[in-house]
Amino acid sequence: MLTDLTEAELWDHRSTQTDPEGLEAFWARTLTEARAAGGEVRTTPVETCLRAVEVHDVVFPGFAGEPVRAWLRLPAPALRGTGRLPVVVEYVGYGGGRGAPEESLLWASAGFAHLHMDTRGQGSGWSRGATPDSGPAGPQVPGVMTRGIASPETYYYRRLFTDAARAVDAARTLEAVDPERVAVVGTSQGGGAAIAAAALVPDVAALAAKVPFLCDFPRAITITDDAPFSEVARYLATHRDQVDAVLDVLAHFDGVNLARRGRAPARFSAALMDSIVPPSTVFGAFHAYGGPKEMAVWPFNGHEGGGVDDDVAMVAFVREHLGVPAA
């Protein structure tokens, strides 16, 4: 059944979320500090059973210069020609990590360089991770949604979104990559991180956000009982005196506020039977987005969105905007 507004209502819906004071300065300082921390991008070839895809283990400097892992997947040398490749930087959904080198082969198989960023402190839910989180301990609901939520400075997503932006920086240094042709993509939490990356590194060439999570927190935490948004509601049910302060912290990381700063051509998708990411929260970010945009709506799907049809459409969208001919 529908979990939110009708499709007609969604096209008219606008989020009431507003920028917190000092949002631009907060993110400018965060990225300046991360880049000033230095650190090297290191790549190591990985032996796999694959023959059409070459894999490298990547370590790059993320938040505060801390090492973040990723896989770099490339079409095998015989399949990629001699020029530099357009690159897709992909972010992972909630609870997952970068997985195994033999997983997630779509982008490299379609002819792109694929930098698949690990998710700090997660990667034990449905796919493996290899990057620890350095964040401070404190009262929190299990999960990461309330980790460090007392301040924008300590909130978990400050670190993750900085990693996402620095992954773009890292991709541009790779020998096989054309630094002018970078797309950022992701599903669910990965879609929210992609929106953040497109806002924080606004000269990327394309954004694709499939059923993106982390948008319109004030609405989301009051209209769905499903995790992960419910982690915040559970926290506030106990910390009753912190509602206004928590909402202010979350506004620094809200996909609606960050979407206003995106400029690259963008493709969003929303599913009308999604109880995990209510479609009105996706439409809130979509309508706020500051660049050219399109929306795919899946009327009878839940949080899987359009499944493989969504994925194939994302490949076509990224090809168009990175100047890659169809196969």
What pLDDT is recorded for position 327?
A: 63
User: Does residue 1 form part of some domain?
Assistant: no
Catalytic residue among 56, 116, 287, 303: 303
Whether residue 162 contacts residue 56, with contact meaning beta carbons closer than 8 Å, is answered with no
| Range 192-208 average pLDDT | 98
User: Does residue 327 form part of some domain?
Assistant: no
User: Does residue 96 form part of some domain?
Assistant: yes
User: Does residue 2 form part of some domain?
Assistant: no
User: Does residue 34 form part of some domain?
Assistant: yes
What pLDDT is recorded for position 293?
A: 98
> Per-residue pLDDT for 7 more than 70?
yes
Closest CA to 207 of 149, 269, 134: 269
What pLDDT is recorded for position 153?
A: 98
Catalytic residue among 127, 188, 230, 269: 188
| Range 129-147 average pLDDT | 93
User: Does residue 153 form part of some domain?
Assistant: yes
User: pLDDT averaged over the chain?
Assistant: 97
- C-alpha–C-alpha distance, residues 321 and 179, integer Å: 14
Q: Is 252 known to be catalytic?
A: no
What would the pLDDT profile of 35-46 be if each residue is shown by its tens digit?
999 999 999 999
Closest CA to 285 of 204, 176, 196: 196
Q: What is the CATH number of the domain that holds 87?
A: 3.40.50.1820
Q: Domains in the chain: how many in total?
A: 1
| Range 277-294 average pLDDT | 98
What pLDDT is recorded for position 32?
A: 98
| Burial category of 49 from C-beta neighbours within 10 Å (exposed 0-12, middle 13-18, buried 19 and up) | exposed
What pLDDT is recorded for position 136?
A: 85
Q: Is 303 known to be catalytic?
A: yes
Q: How many CB atoms lie within 10 A of CB 267?
A: 25
At 65, is the secondary structure helix, strand, or coil? helix
User: Does residue 62 form part of some domain?
Assistant: yes
Catalytic residue among 169, 274, 310, 311: 274
At 323, is the secondary structure helix, strand, or coil? coil
What would the pLDDT profile of 73-117 be if each residue is shown by its tens digit?
999 999 988 899 999 999 999 999 999 999 999 999 999 999 999
> Per-residue pLDDT for 261 more than 70?
yes
Q: What percentage of residues in the chain have a pLDDT greater than 90?
A: 95
> Per-residue pLDDT for 138 more than 90?
no
| Range 165-186 average pLDDT | 98
> Per-residue pLDDT for 274 more than 90?
yes
Closest CA to 231 of 96, 141, 135: 141
User: Does residue 150 form part of some domain?
Assistant: yes
Distance set, CA 53 to CA 72, 118, 321 (Å): 10, 19, 23
What would the pLDDT profile of 54-63 be if each residue is shown by its tens digit?
999 999 999 9
Q: Is 116 known to be catalytic?
A: no
Range of the domain at 128: 7-322
